[in-house]
Amino acid sequence: MNIEELITKACLVEAYDTVRDGSFRMATPFRYPDGSHIDVFLKDSGTLFDGFELSDKGQTVAYLLDLHVKPWTSQKRKQTMSDICATLGVEQEGGVFRIRLPKEEMNDLPDAILRLGQACIRIADLSYTQRLRAPVALSEDFEEFVSGLDRPYQTGVKVSGQFGKEVEFDFSVEGHRMRSLVQILSTANRMAAHNLSLEAFARWSDISPVRSQYQCLSVYDTTNDVFREEDLKRLEAVSDVVGFPAESARLNVSLAC
């Protein structure tokens, strides 16, 4: 089998060369959001299976990390990447995206390059969720913050309430001695902020019989000055109120205790 001949015939390969580990590096017409070209790499899989491996060699994840976007610090991002890979038939191993090609399927190389290129583009578009997202998206920032604390946590936690129904909170974080329940309050609208505060107060009140078993944290968005002082004072009667990201240091201590 002449691999170079297959690469030359692939219409999506604009140029190719050989890198240090013996892989063929193929320049594609696909581009990352910053305009740089997406390269894919083809190498013999060795003893893993009888065929070849087409991958991005981790360049897509490296692109995101350069933009301070950590792909695996929120469930939403992880699920997005998983869905993209499943749709396009791409495997994910650590920070590498790849497609395995048995020798008898090497004529499908152009299709594999197309699918891998599409996956790289769509995953790289996670950068837009960091740079262009609405100011109300505080939950992802908080989850990324908690991930950095290296404390076990869960999202969408339900606690038995006093009126026969379960009450859902945004996060549960296991500290060294205390489990914290966290309710996120984030909006750019002053009236919506008032309503969110009342809703959070109702949630904390609903679990009053078991509230002492938790450290209760109402975390409000400090990037928009829309939360009323009286609403925050009301919340202080049923929870600890912490601004984020302005009071990140205080939040760090509270969650770790």
Residues 125 and 8 in one domain: yes
Distance CA(246)–CA(243), nearest Å, equals: 6
Taking only the tens place, the pLDDT of each residue in 150-206 is: 899 999 999 999 888 899 999 999 999 999 999 999 987 788 889 899 999 999 999
Q: CB–CB of 251/244 below 8 Å?
A: yes
Asked if residue 167 and residue 104 are part of one domain, the reply reads: no
Q: What is the bridge-based pairing of β-strands 24-31 and 37-44?
A: antiparallel
Which of residues 130, 152, 180 is at a domain's end? 130
Residue 236 confidence class, pLDDT cut points 50, 70, 90: very high
Q: What tokens appear for 105 in the block? A: 């399927």
Pair (151, 114) in one structural domain? no
Contact 28, 117 (CB under 8 A): yes
Q: Are residues 146 and 248 in the same domain?
A: yes
Q: Give the per-residue pLDDT at 4.
A: 67
The count of structural domains within the chain is 2
CATH classification at residue 226: 3.40.1350.10
Average pLDDT of the chain? Answer: 88
Rounded to two decimals, what is the model's pTM? 0.54
Mean pLDDT of 99-113: 88
